[in-house]
Structures are given as structure tokens and as C-alpha cells.
Chain A
Amino acid sequence: MLAQLRYRYFPDHLIGEILTKRWIDNAIPFLVLLVAIVVFGILLPGFLTINNLSDLGRQFAEFGLIVLGLTIVMISGGIDLSVASVYTLAVLLSLICVNVEGWPVGLSFLAVMALGVVCGSINGYLIGYLRLRAFLTTLVTLIIFRSIYDIVFLRTSTAIISSLSDSDLWTFIGEGTVLGVPFTLVVTAVIAIAWHIVLSRTRPGWRLTGSAARGARHITRASRCAAQFAQPTSGRQS
């Protein structure tokens, strides 16, 4: 009797077909995200307020940029464990440039981009040209970059804490909103959409997502650039 009900009403064929679709790998985490938002929205009293959501949005934008860079590397078959350390270095450099040295935001932005390119090139040279294993190499560069950060931060911490930036643009990048949406979230969304278009509609993008082994050098460098692209936005929040 129970078996009959089970065969009649349980949609196992439907679920099976959905699970074989191409897009299911991406859909499941997204579904979990939606469920998490709904559950926490019910359980926590202030969760779905604009204040909280825009705060979460800003944090998401920071992680989102790092993850975007890492995604591009992983889509093409490599791996990069040092993204977080490069990020901390970039944040430190942006704080030093804008707060301590007082450079204009545009110049600091270029400096941070250059840092990203240098770090990515180191990784890319080691992995692409010298053919070292990506996992171990990026693990080591993670430690190296983090150590550089620790050394430099200790020396500059006094200067960082005792200086403030007067730049309005800097404040807007960190705390401003565009039509109610946090500026950093907008930037991350724009970069994500741009990368999607590049990866899915342009020839270099097809080459990136095509062969895995070739072009690892280009990939790591490009991913660094992408991740550092809006560094001052996240840097302001630190």
C-alpha cells in the first residue's frame, strides 16, 4: 500500500532529470543561498532590513572580487591558493597610498593594479613557464606574500592609524550608494557581467575555457588584474 503511494506520487523521474541538467552544478549552491536568506530572514529579527542587507552586500562585494579572480583560474583548470594574500597586500598598499602618502585615488588605483599584475606574473611565470605544480607553488607564494604583508604592516601600522584621508571619492567608494545599492556591490556586479561576456562570447574567452593546460600564464595574470580591478573599493572598508 505504502509502496504504491510512493510510486504514484513521489516525483523521482522528475528529480532525476533535473539533476542531469547542465546547469544543476551552479543551481544547487544558488538554491541553498536562497534558502539560507529566507531561513535567516525568518529567524533573525533585523536580517532583511536595508541596513543589514547593504552591509552584507558590501562584504559580499569584497569576497566576490576575490572569488571572481579565482573562478577564472579554476574554470581554465588551474588553481591559485594565494588570492587571499595578494588581496591583503593590495589592501595594505591602497591604505598606505591614500591614507599615509595622500596620493589621489586614481594614482593609488594604478599602483594597486600594478601590484596585482606583479603578483600574478610571479605566479604565472612559475606555473606557466617553469611548469611547476600550481597547488604547491601558489601555496608557497601565499606564505611569501603574507609574510611581506606582516613585515610591512608592522612598520607602517602607526602611520596608518594616525592618518585620515580627505578624499571624498575615497569615502564614496567605501560607503556610498548608487540608487540605494552599495557602490562596491555595483562594481563587482559590473565586473562579473563583463567577465561573463568575455568568457562566453569572445574568442580569447573561448580559448580560456577550452584547453586547460595551455595559457595558464595568461590566466593567472588576467585573474590577478580582475581581482585587483576595484581594490580601493574593498580597501576603503579595511
Chain B
Amino acid sequence: MLQVNLETVNPTNTYAGADWVKVGLIEAQALVDHCGKESGKSGKVAILEGQPTAASNLYELYAYYHVFADHPEIQVVADQAATYDPAKARAITETVLQQHPDLCGIVGNWDNQDVGAGAAVQAAGKSGQVFIVTSGGGSKTGCDNISKGLLSEIVSYDVPLQGDALNQAIVELLLSPAKAGAIQTTYFTPLTLQTKDTISPRQCWTFDDLK
């Protein structure tokens, strides 16, 4: 059995996808860098979960709170689930901005969902103040969102590369003489940080490139 990208809590033969704990650690560290002691900002961050029962969500939450435990100046003012819906993300962010006008950062589960948060921040005129970090597949849509200023940083787990890894894993599984379940492999795809300074056509894939 092969799991792709959204791990479950039950391990199977092979997993090809992102290391969600690592993604969470990178995102949390980005928030600490932007909102921590040295930055002089308020230190308030909001968490936009995806689907609360998804394992990737749990791994990321573990990573966030693990990092924030070492940085007491970071204060999590909101932890809500947007369930992959940008409209919900927008509504949640609007409420959080009203409650905490000095919000410093938002960390979200998926870039297509967190575009909603970015839109709410832009509508409130706080694009320079709120740092939005999220993770995504690395598509051109994500890169465009960064260029438009809706998102600040995307941790890309490179979905086309996951596709290649998957094909490789399938071939291995089918050709391997070992019995099912005997060997367990995990392939974590390398992560790329996409920000305004680092995006390039090489990393932002479009559907036409893949055909």
C-alpha cells in the first residue's frame, strides 16, 4: 500500500510525500524570525488549520507548538480550522484582525486556502504588517499569489517531484520479491522555500509544463 502526501496515523508499505513535521518547523521558525523578540513586533500569531482530523494537520500543530514553546514572546491568539476553504479562511482572518489589530503573522495549512486569509489582510490594508506563511504544491498559482502580495512565504513540497517518486515507488513495489508489508519505505520530498525574492519560473510549475 502506498500513501501519497497526506500521511495517515497508520503507516503503510510506502509513503511518498512531505515531511509534515519539518514543514511545520520551518513555518514556525519563519514566524519566530518575523515576529519574535528581535523583530520588535507584537508577537501575535494566528493558526489556520486545514482539516482538523487530517494527520498532516496534527504533525504541523505539534511542530508549531514545539517551536513556540521555546519562544514565549510568540502568542497564539487564534487556532481555527478553515477546512481547505478560502472563504472560511477569509472570514476567520477578518474576525481575528478585528480582535487583534496588531496581528503579526498567520500560519496556514494550505496555500489555496490561505489565499483567503491574504485577501482579508489586504482588504484591511495590513499587507505590510501581517506575515503569512503556508505550504503548498509549488504551482504557478501559488507563485502568483506571492507576487500579488497575498502570501508571504510558501513552503513548497514540489508535487510533480512527488509524482515521479510515486511512479518509482510503484515500480519498486511491483518488482520487489519481498512480501507485502515486509519492507517499509518513506520518501520525503525536498522542500523549497518560495518567497518574493526566490520565486522563479523554474520552481513554479504550470499544468502545461507537465503535459
Q: How far in angstroms is the closest Cβ of chain A from B107?
A: 16
Contacts of A157 in B (CB 8 A): 52-53, 81
* 11 pairs, A vs B, C-beta closer than 8 Å: A150-B81, A153-B52, A154-B79, A157-B52, A157-B81, A158-B58, A161-B9, A161-B53, A161-B55, A161-B58, A162-B9
Q: Mark B76-102, 1 if CB is under 8 A from A, else 0.
A: 000111000000000000000000000
Most buried by B among A150, A154, A157, A162: A157
In the complex, per-residue mask of B42-72: 1 if CB is within 8 Å of any chain A CB, else 0? 0000000100110100100100000000000
How extensive is the interface on chain A, given as a class? under 10
State A158–B62 Cα separation when bound (angstroms): 11
A160→B53 contact, CB < 8 A: yes
Question: What is the CA–CA distance of A157 and B49 in the complex, to the nearest angstrom?
Answer: 11
Specify which chain B residues have a CB less than 8 angstroms from the CB of A154 in the assembled complex. Answer: 49, 52, 79-81
In the complex, residue of chain A having the shortest beta-carbon distance to the beta carbon of B55? A161
Whole-angstrom CA separation of A161 from B56 in the bound complex: 12
The B contact surface, by secondary structure, is mixed
Q: Which residues of B does A touch, CB under 8 Å?
A: 9, 49, 52-53, 55, 58, 61, 79-81
Enumerate chain A residues within 8 angstroms of B58, measured Cβ to Cβ. Answer: 158, 161-162
Contact partners of B49 in chain A: CB under 8 A: 154
**Chain B residue at minimum C-beta to C-beta distance from A163:** B9
Given A154-B80, A161-B53, A162-B58, 11 more A-B residue pairs with CB atoms under 8 Å apart are A150-B81, A154-B49, A154-B52, A154-B81, A157-B53, A157-B81, A158-B52, A158-B58, A161-B9, A161-B55, A162-B9
Q: Per-position contact with B for A143-177: 1 when CB-CB < 8 Å, else 0? A: 00000001001100110111000000000000000
Most interface-central of A150, A154, A161 (chain B CB within 10 A)? A161
Closest 3 CB pairs of A and B: A157-B52, A161-B53, A157-B53
Contacting residues, chain B, for A150 (C-beta < 8 A): 81
In whole angstroms, what is the CA distance A153 to B9 when docked?
Answer: 18
CB-defined contacts of B55 to chain A, threshold 8 Å: 161
- Across the interface, name the chain A residue whose C-beta is closest to B58: A158
B3 to chain A, nearest CB (A): 15
Q: Which residues of B contact A162 (CB under 8 A)?
A: 9, 58
Which residue of chain A has its CB nearest to the CB of B62? A158
CA distance A161 to B49 in the complex (A): 15
How distant is the Cα of A157 from the Cα of B53 in the complex, in angstroms?
A: 5
Which residue of the partner chain B has the closest CB to A160?
Answer: B53
Docked pose: A171 CA to B132 CA in angstroms: 43
Question: Within 8 Å CB of B9, what residues of A?
Answer: 161-162
Residues on B with C-beta less than 8 A from A160 are: 53
Residues of A within 8 A of B81 (CB): 150, 154, 157
In the complex, what's the smallest C-beta–C-beta distance from B7 to chain A, in angstroms? Answer: 12
The residue of chain A having its C-beta at the shortest distance from the C-beta of B79 within the complex is: A154
Chain A residues with Cβ under 8 A from B53's Cβ?
Answer: 157, 160-161
- B52 neighbours in A (Cβ, 8 Å): 153-154, 157-158
**Closest Cβ neighbor of B80 among chain A residues:** A154
Alpha-carbon separation in the docked complex, A21 to B81 (Å): 51
8 A Cβ contacts from A119-165 to B: 150, 153-154, 157-158, 160-162
**CA distance in complex: A157, B79 (Å):** 13
A160 nearest CB across to chain B (Å): 6
| Residue in B closest to A161 when the chains form the complex, CB atoms | B53
